[in-house]
Amino acid sequence: MTNLPERPDPRLRPPDPAGTQPKVDEASLVARMRLQLEPAVDSEAEVIEEGAPSDGREEHDLLPEPAGGGGGGVAVAAHAEAPHAPRFQFLLGALIAIGVVAIVAGAALIFRPNSTTGAVANWSPWHPTSSGLSGAQQIGNHIGPEYRLASGQELVQINGGPLQVAGLPITVVLRSDPTSNGNISVINGTGVLYRLCGLGANCAIDQGKPSNQRHLLLQREALELALYSFRYLDGINQVVVFLPPRMGQQPSEALFFRPGDVAPELDRPLFATLTRRVPSVSGITSSPDVSLVQRLTTSTLYSFSLTQGNQDANVFLVLRPPGSPPG
């Protein structure tokens, strides 16, 4: 049997050259962890640490567990609010409040009543540069090119100006239907006259065939002329629009508007009454505003005749319900 050499006592070994023994003692490591995690310890734990433990626990039991240990100190640190969070939330709320106020103020500016007319400001993107009677022709020049025939050509040419004919002022006279009471009412005031001329004989439309759709489109054009006139021309309380006749006939139809006929439409933007895009002849009956156009123009459509006064230098514009016999 071979005798093995006696194993040296481990306590007499020299320091481990491979570094397997810890280089930092446990006491200094615990102290360092305590300094790093101390802000995460809640106030109640800090008070207990400063005094003697009340439940017999050792002082090291009150230290928060290191990360990953699932201890209460980590949970508190994870849910602690960021130092700038209240300031960020305040600024975000302020920005939202400013945005809401800006939207409300913008809506109020668009839809606020005008101090002189009661109509909303910014009623339409365009307006005439003159608020006098000369502005009537500017209105006609603006509206006319928007209305087109099926061929793409302009529907009618528009002449706008004072309510007069051949240099003589016009006085509007309403004669009610004989089946009603047949009364005559003289309408005094200041007005403008628009003549819609189709460039044919007697201002008839010189192309295409007459139709109910084309007539309705002319009524819409007359309504738009009246709305612009009441909105932008000063002192106007009457608008008369002569419609073009059928080919071979004399002009005999007119629309007569007063401010009360379209008061609600003057209290809201134009696009809320008439669509921004003017419909075509074939598309007028399917336009979203067709019902309103029919309601506002059917009651203001008349047959007319002109009669010169016997003594005064004026002309009477006699308006009768459509289909009423002259007389």
**Size (the chain), residues:** 327
At 70, the amino acid letter reads G
Mean pLDDT estimate for the chain? 79
In this prediction, residue 118 has a pLDDT band, given cuts at 50, 70 and 90, of very low
Q: Could you tell me the two tokens for 34?
A: 């305590």
Residue 297 has φ and ψ, to the nearest 5°, of: -105, -25
Does position 272 have pLDDT exceeding 60, yes or no?
A: yes
CA–CA separation, 301 and 320 (whole Å)? 9
**pLDDT tens digits for 45-90?**
444 444 444 444 444 444 445 444 444 444 444 445 556 666 667 6
What is the pairing mode between strands 168-175 and 315-320?
A: parallel
Model pLDDT, residue 298: 95
Structural domain boundaries of the chain?
24-79, 135-320
Model pLDDT, residue 53: 46
Q: Write a three-state SS string for the chain.
A: CCCCCCCCCHHHCCCCCCCCCCCCCHHHHHHHHHHHHHHHCCHHHHHHHHCCCCCCCCHHHHCCCCCCCCCHHHHHHHHCCCCCHHHHHHHHHHHHHHHHHHHHHHHHHHHCECCCCCCECCCCCCCCCCCCCCHHHHHHHHHHHHCECCCCCECCEEEEEECEECCEEEEEEEECCCCCCCCEEEECCCEEEEEEECECHHHCECCCCCCHHHHHHHHHHHHHHHHHHHHHCCCCCEEEEECCCCCCCCCCEEEEECHHHCHHHHCCCHHHCCCCCCCCCCCHHHCCCHHHHHHHHHCCEEEEEEEECCCCCCEEEEEECCCCCCC
CA–CA separation, 193 and 202 (whole Å)? 17
Q: Look at 6 and 156; give whichever has higher pLDDT.
A: 156
CA–CA separation, 264 and 186 (whole Å)? 25
Model pLDDT, residue 299: 94
**pLDDT tens digits for 163-178?**
999 889 999 999 987 7
